[in-house]
Amino acid sequence: MTMTTDEQRVDLSAPNWIWDLLICPECGAPLRADDGQLRCAGADCGFSSTYAGRVFNLLPRDLDRFQRAEDSWRTRHFDQLRKTVPQMSAVQYERFKLLNVITYYAFTSQFFFFRDYFAKTHTLRGRGLEIGGASGQLSGFVKMFYPGTEMIATDVAPINVEMGAELAGLLRFETDYLATVDAERLPFRPESFDFLCSSGMLHHLGDMRRALRQGRTVLKPGGRWYVVNELAIGSLPRRFWNSGLGAKGKWAETTGIRENSYTLGEWRAFFAGEGFRIVDTYFNRNPGQKLLSWPRSLYYAAIAKLPLALVKAGIPCEVNFVLEKQ
């Protein structure tokens, strides 16, 4: 049976529980909602923003240039993509854009990882928050594999959240809410979430300790933060990696996005210093989940054969952590 367009569209009407969680991202006071407008109840704050259905804009006003770069870079990227298909109508291009998103290695690799490892290893329950989720696919995977959960997908770039809503409609993801937020100023009440998740975003932060403190604040006691798709690298190879000749250095120059690199010891120190216990550390060396290019996949095929002790010593490798609030 063929579904009509209306049947395929995800219902964007919002459930109600988010209103119990929201606070002003600038002063922490309650937010008031009035006909699509959000206003801070604080007497001297003046923060205001918008929401529509289950999509919320909760960004503070003073983002730095690196935080704004994600939105501007993706906007340029999609503008250039649009020029490659001038024959397409606006509706056709939107479908084309989303097909490019779901066939890009970051989406497919994350799905394979989630399907083949994460969902078989971890049990998620309750209410979750995805931080820095780009197009929100991780939240979609959580809702798919753990249908009893409730999820808010967030990112700092408005274009990513808009695309996340479109992607949810295309794939029928059941993410409860999508919101633009700053990871260093989370607009949620303390102890709002049973778990957090993030994928490849902590290394972009200007003040990771502040973001970890924010995450710990909004977690319930004993709650867990699932940190996936970060990089652990030795101090010597990092010098090249972050230079103008290395992968991170080139990417930072191209996009304007902040790129940091950390050793395994530095990651552990960050987490322990902000009140997290590391429950698990997993090095993902599966070459089938590194499909950006054949050299990348070949690299992971090679280091997959090395003793884990060598990887821990500083060979660049994707690493995932499970943190627990102490």
Q: Is the pLDDT of residue 3 over 60?
A: no
Mean pLDDT check: name the lowest of 11-20, 76-85, 170-179: 11-20
3-state secondary structure at position 85: coil
pTM: 0.93
Q: What is the CA radius of gyration of the chain?
A: 20
Could you tell me the pLDDT band of residue 12, with boundaries at 50, 70 and 90?
A: very low
For residue 6, is pLDDT > 60?
no
DSSP H or E segment with residue 123:
none
The whole-number pLDDT of residue 15 equals: 67
- What pLDDT shows up at residue 2? 34
CA angle 311, 313, 316 (to 5 degrees): 50
Give the pLDDT confidence score for residue 10 in this predicted structure: 39
Amino acid at 156: V
pLDDT single digits (tens) 214-268: 999 999 999 999 999 999 999 999 999 999 988 889 999 999 999 999 999 999 9
List pLDDT tens digits, range 21-69: 999 999 999 999 988 999 999 989 999 999 999 999 999 999 999 999 9
Instruction: Indicate whether 7 pLDDT > 80.
Output: no
Share of the chain above pLDDT 90, in %: 89
Query: 173 pLDDT exceeds 90?
Result: yes
Average the pLDDT over 284-308 and give the result. Answer: 91
* Residue with token string 């801070």: 40
**What's the CA gap between 269 and 282, in Å, rounded?**
17
Q: Give residues with Cβ within 8 angstroms of 62, minimum separation 6.
A: none
Inter-helix orientation angle 65-83/247-255, to 10°: 80
- Alpha-carbon distance of 43 to 17, in angstroms, equals 25
Q: Is the pLDDT of residue 5 over 90?
A: no
CB 195 within 8 A of CB 224: yes
Beta strands in 115-270, from DSSP E residues, in sequence order: 127-130, 150-155, 177-180, 193-199, 219-232
Rounded to the nearest integer, the mean pLDDT of the chain is 93
Q: Which string of b and e fits 17-39 if b means at least 16 CB within 10 Å?
A: ebeebbbbbbeeeebeeeeeebb
Question: 3-state class of 297 per DSSP?
Answer: helix
